[in-house]
Amino acid sequence: MSRSQLDRPAIPAGLGADDTGCHVLHVDMDAFFASCELRTRPALQGRPVIVGSDAPRSVVLAATYEARRFGVHSAMPMSRARRLCPQAVLIEPTRGLYRAVSEEVMAILGEVTDRIEPLSLDEAFLDVAPAVRRMGRPAEIGRHIRERVRAEQGITCSVGVAATKHVAKLAGAHAKPDGLLVVPTARVLDFLHPLPVSVLWGVGERTGQSLERLGLRTVGDLARAPVETLRHSLGAALGSHLHELAWGRDPRPVEPHRLDKSIGAEETFARDLSDPVAVRAELLRLSERVASRLRRQRVVTRTVALKIRFADFTTVNRSRTLTEATDVAKDLYATAAALYDAMGIGGRRVRLVGVRAESLGPAGQQDRQLAFDEPAIGWREAEVVADEAAVRFGPDAVRPAALLRAPDRTSAAGRHPSGREPDGH
Amino acid sequence: MKFRLDRDDLADSVAWAARTLPSRPSIPMLAGLLVEADEHGLTLSSFDYEVSGRVTLPAEVDEPGRVLVSGKLLADIARAMPAQPVDLSADTSRVELRCGRSTFTLPTLPVEDYPVLPDMPTSSGSVAGPVLAGAVAQVAIAAGRDDTLPTLTGVRVEVTGSVITLAATDRYRLAVRTFDWQPERPDLDSAALVPARTFAETAKSLAGCELVRLSLAGSGAGEGLMGFEGGGRRTTTRLLDGEFPKYRALLPTESATVATVDTGTLTDAVKRVALVAERNTPVRLTFSGDEVLLRAGTGDDAQATEGIEGAVEGDPVEIAFNPSYLLDGVGAVGTPSVRFSFTSATRPAVLTGVADEPSDGADPYRYLLMPVRLSG
């Protein structure tokens, strides 16, 4: 999100067509902090807005694209930003807001694939190879993510689609704001070579000066320079690294972070729900989703949290710790539904519900207290079979009977179309 | 209102009647203790819509009357009074207590709105106080504490003629106890689900009574209530709804291994090795030959091992339990030795008492405990 994104070169023609083999997605929120703030201040849409405090020596945390047009960018001293764009509206940062929105966005991404590598609060790489069968081509998945983030979080994001992390990130930067760009495998060099060397990972100010002295200004210049020259003047490691990147070679896989702190799923209803039966059905659906992700990531949870956001946007979170760690939807649902019932809010209009598994631990390392009413082959095994069916036939292949009529009812209730995963049968 | 009574009588009765009063009542009035004096003596009552308590005791009543005061405060005061007669007098706004040289003045609560206590259901029969208290204590330990499964927070009471069976389970263990009593009608056949905590506490508070009358209302007056009466003290508790699990099917009919161990030795050994068993980690027991080997802790964590004597018949068994569930059961059998019966390491173990004298027929107490399945 730097100034250089605004004076980017034009995108070469012919990009964006063929996404074959482009299974790496780079997803980046547009002017993240500022977008979060604008959700509750719709009147400021389209106006220059700066997020940061008005205190001396403070810096710009985020600026809308309207403010960036005046040269404002993040990390710039606030005093300078105010001189550049005196008409900008200054918003004090809201504690906790960005992390909360980030978690919800990451949850959406987590539903696409478990191969997700977050880079910061507002940015992540996804390897969507396992999701293609279920959700469609990478570009379609990218569009799906953009639509869900917009509809459910009220902010926009940009998506770069390519075969490697490096190119996907550059593609994402080029798509900004609010865009999507595919760099087909065959067109990587066309895309890469006209760009300035500064876009390459590992090229900072000093390396940039060294390259400048060699007369290498574009990625293409660097690519055509003898690798020995680069190794000699930049050092062996960096020289080889940049040479590889300049030829579009980036072998680093998307690395999912170690162990999630929590796994959750949420649903925002297009029309608020007031029927407790419908809310519970949604809790069951979300519990299924969360349990399935727990099993996929081979973790178990000991704490189940329920989140309810009412029509007036007040939000209530409740959690309960279980006797035994679990990855079974039936247990998650029983706890979530009990928390919901205990709130005693029957009839209040609900805008969003969420189920979250916290206190995660590795699966299979827990000793398990057996219960009388738990057959040796039970719910867990049934749900594992459902997981396998979901991989082959899509997420709705096997569902609890209570949800069998759900598509009719929820579509009648006007669930937002983007809230459902497309079936990739 | 004006009366005089013995300090010990007052302290005991107030403490008993006030024991079930809510500390944070939904309505302030429900923290009150109803004090009534008439020609029969003194009556103290408490009620929180779930549990009611009423005790009558002798007093020299000069002037009858009826007031409501803070039960907790009155209990604290009565307990702290010197051992001398207590004079209590009250008007509509305050209560004055004099004992020896101390005087206390308490504000009253509005007595007009105090709810009417439920009528005591008709007596169904009686049992000795210590028998009831012992049986309920043995069973209530296995009751659930999870309010999301309210049915399991109760003790199932089944009356068949002269035999009462109590059962409770939290899905991980099941305690069943049978005992004899004297029913009013020999053909009595009834069942109820009583909140375990109230049941255990009430039975304990009546343990000193030679005879406790039990009232199980089938229908009519007092429906949905169970009543207890002994030594001038009466309690009613509201029953729980819901279908108690069909627990009899869980009781194994055969076993592959039977082991007998000294209760005290086992208790001490489990407590010792469990010191290294962090929350929820099991204690592993190996029963073979004439030894029981106890182990806790795994891998890089702290570990403990102890071997104790035991008489093991049948196949050797290696099995793991939650240590606190195990201690509950071993502590509840109440005999010098405890007998374990196993079918396999993933099926429930049955703990029964081994009395010094052989008993006739079925074990009066059985504690079924589901094992922990080890990950390794």
A376: pLDDT strictly greater than 60? no
Residues A86 and A210 in one domain: no
Is B346's CB within 8 Å of A370's CB?
A: yes
Tell me the three-class secondary structure of A80-97, residue by residue: HHHHHCCCCEEECCCCCH
Contact A366 B370 (CB under 8 A): no
> Does residue A418 register a pLDDT over 50?
no
What length is written for chain B?
A: 376
What average pLDDT does the structure give for chain B?
90
Residue of chain B nearest A323, judged by CA positions: B280
Pick from A334, A364, A372: which is nearest to B169 by CB?
A372
Domain ranges of chain B: 2-113, 125-248, 251-369
Q: Is B370 in CB contact (< 8 Å) with chain A?
A: yes
The Cα of A313 is separated from the nearest Cα of chain B by a number of Å equal to 28
* B280-299 tens-digit pLDDT: 689 999 999 899 999 998 77
Find chain B residues with C-beta within 8 A of A380's C-beta.
none
Contact B333, B349 (CB under 8 A): no
* Beta strands, E only, A196-314: 263-273, 299-310
Q: Averaged over A400-420, what is the pLDDT?
A: 46
Model pLDDT, residue A399:
65
Query: What's the pLDDT at A251?
Result: 86
Judge whether A371 is closer than 8 Å to chain B, CB to CB. Answer: yes
Residues A272 and A386 in one domain: yes
Per-residue confidence (pLDDT) for residue B258, from 0 to 100: 94
* Residues A317 and A362 reside in one and the same domain: yes
Together in a domain, A212 and A272? no
Yes or no, beta carbons of B172 and A376 under 8 Å apart: no
CB-CB contact of A142 with A39 (8 Å): no
* pLDDT band (50, 70, 90) for residue A298: confident
d(CA B132, CA B204): 8
pLDDT at B200 over 80: yes
| Domain membership flag for residue A238 | yes
Burial grade of A349 (CB within 10 A; 0-12, 13-18, 19 or more): middle
DSSP state of A153: I
Q: Give me the pLDDT at residue A3, please.
A: 40
What is the structure's pLDDT at B218?
Answer: 60
The CATH number that domain B125-248 falls under is 3.10.150.10
Q: Give the model's pLDDT for residue A95.
A: 76
CA distance B47 to B51: 6
Query: A405 at the B interface (CB within 8 A)?
Result: no
Confirm whether A16 is domain-assigned. Answer: no
Q: Is A209's Cβ below 8 Å from some Cβ in B? A: no
Count of C-beta atoms within a 10 Å radius of residue A150: 14
B343 interface with A at CB cutoff 8 Å: no
Which three-class secondary structure state does DSSP give residue A129? helix
For helices A379-393 and A276-296, what crossing angle results, to 10°? 80
Same domain, A273 and A371: yes
Q: What mean pLDDT value characterizes chain A?
A: 82
Q: A392 to chain B nearest CA, in Å?
A: 29
In this prediction, residues A210-234 reach a mean pLDDT of: 89
Query: Which is more confident, B160 or A7?
Result: B160
Residues of chain B above pLDDT 90, percent = 72
Longest dimension (CA), chain B: 75
Instruction: Single out the catalytic residue among A66, A111, A117, A123.
Output: A123
Residue B74 is predicted with a pLDDT of 94
Q: Which residues of B touch A334 (CB under 8 A)?
A: 148
Distance from CA of B260 to the nearest CA of A (A): 24
Confidence grade of residue A97 (pLDDT, cut at 50, 70, 90): confident
Residue after which a domain boundary falls, among A42, A68, A91: A91
Could you tell me if A30 and A65 are in contact, meaning their C-beta atoms sit under 8 angstroms apart? yes
**Mean pLDDT (whole number) for B150-179:** 94
Q: What percent of chain B has a predicted confidence (pLDDT) above 70?
A: 95
Side chain identity at A41, as an amino acid letter?
R
CATH number at residue A231: 1.10.150.20
| Residue A105, domain member (yes or no) | no
pLDDT at A370 over 60: yes
Question: Residue B358 has what pLDDT?
Answer: 58
Q: Do A269 and A237 have their domain in common?
A: no
The answer to whether B129 and B209 have CB atoms below 8 angstroms apart is: yes
Which of A292, A21, A34, A268 is CA-nearest to residue A147? A268
| Dihedral angle sign, alpha carbons of residues B349, B353, B354, B359 | negative
Q: What are phi and psi of B54, to 5 degrees?
A: -145, 130
Q: Report d(CA A147, CA A417) in Å as an integer.
A: 10
Distance between CA atoms of B228 and A286, rounded to whole angstroms?
Answer: 47
DSSP calls for B37-83:
EETTEEEEEEE-SSEEEEEEE--EEEE-EEEEEEHHHHHHHHHHS-S
pLDDT in tens, A326-337: 888 988 999 999
CATH hierarchy code of domain B2-113: 3.10.150.10
Residue A407 in this model has a pLDDT that exceeds 80: no
**Residue A422: per-residue pLDDT:** 37
Q: What is the mean pLDDT of residues B149-157?
A: 92
Residue A4 has pLDDT above 50, yes or no: no
Does any domain span residue A102?
no
Residue A140 in tokens: 């379609």
- What residues of chain B lie within 8 A of the CB of A371, using their CB? 171-172, 370
Residues sharing a CB contact under 8 Å with residue A99, sequence separation 6 or more, in sequence order:
A121
**pLDDT (average), residues A85-93:** 91
pLDDT at A1 over 60: no
Looking at domain B251-369, its CATH superfamily turns out to be DNA Polymerase III, subunit A, domain 2 (3.10.150.10)
DSSP classification of residue A218: B
What is the percentage of chain A residues whose pLDDT exceeds 70?
83
Can you state the angle between helices A329-343 and A276-296, rounded to 10 degrees?
A: 140
Assign A157 a pLDDT band (cuts: 50, 70, 90). Answer: very high
Q: How far is B57 from chain A (nearest CA, A)?
A: 42
Cβ distance B346 to A376 less than 8 Å, yes or no, reads yes
Asked if residue A352 and residue A276 are part of one domain, the reply reads yes
Looking at residue A17, its pLDDT comes to 67
A399 and A268 share one domain: yes
Q: Which residues of A touch B171 (CB under 8 A)?
A: 371-374
Count the domains in chain A: 3
Q: CB of A404 within 8 A of CB of A350? A: no
pLDDT score, position A405: 54
Tokens of A38: 């604008």
Q: Are A241 and A273 in a shared domain? A: no
The sign of the CA dihedral A221, A227, A233, A238 is positive
pLDDT in tens, A102-132: 888 988 998 888 888 888 889 999 999 888 8
Does A361 contact chain B (CB < 8 Å)?
no
Q: Is the domain of A388 the same as that of A266?
A: yes
Note the pLDDT of residue A385.
73
Under the banding of pLDDT at 50, 70 and 90, the label for residue B113 is confident
Regarding whether A329 and A297 lie in a shared domain, the answer is: yes
Is the CB of residue B227 less than 8 Å from the CB of residue B124?
no
Higher pLDDT, A13 or B341: B341
pLDDT band at A158 (very low <50, low <70, confident <90, very high): very high
Whether the domain at B125-248 and the domain at B251-369 fall into the same CATH topology? yes
Would you state the pLDDT for residue B62? 94
Contact B370 A370 (CB under 8 A): yes
The answer on pLDDT for B359 being more than 60 is no
pLDDT digits (tens, 9 = 90+) for B206-239: 999 999 999 986 645 557 899 999 988 999 999 9
Residue A15, domain member (yes or no): no
- Between CA B307 and CA B315, with CA B313 as vertex, the angle to 5 degrees is 85
- Residues of chain A with C-beta less than 8 angstroms from the C-beta of B322: 369
Task: Fill in the amino acid letter for A80.
Answer: R
Residue A366 counted as domain residue: yes
Asked, as a colleague might, if the bond just before A177 is cis with ω within 30 of 0, I would say: yes
The DSSP bridge pattern shows strands A49-51 and A62-63 to be antiparallel
pLDDT at B149 over 90: no
- A123 flagged as catalytic: yes
pLDDT value of position B280:
65
* Domain annotation covers residue A252: no
Find the domain containing A220 and state its range: 193-246
Same domain, yes or no: A329 and A228: no
Whether pLDDT at A160 is above 60: yes
CA angle A104, A109, A115 (to 5 degrees): 135
* pLDDT for the residue numbered A261: 77
* CATH number, residue A370: 3.30.1490.100
> Nearest chain B Cα to A364, which residue?
B375
Which pLDDT belongs to residue A207? 86
| Sign of the alpha-carbon torsion through A318, A322, A326, A328 | negative
Q: Which of A12-16, A97-101, A252-256, B186-190 has the least mean pLDDT? A: A12-16
The predicted complex's ipTM stands at: 0.82
State residue A386's pLDDT score.
73
Cβ neighbourhood burial of B214 (10 Å; 0-12, 13-18, 19+): buried
A121-126: list long-range contacts, CB under 8 Å, 24+ apart.
A121/A32, A122/A28, A122/A29, A122/A32, A122/A98, A123/A26, A123/A27, A123/A28, A123/A29, A124/A26, A124/A27, A125/A24, A125/A25, A125/A26, A125/A27, A125/A165, A125/A168, A125/A169, A125/A254, A126/A24, A126/A25, A126/A26, A126/A27, A126/A254
Q: pLDDT band for B42, please (50, 70, 90 cuts).
A: very high
B90: pLDDT strictly greater than 70:
yes
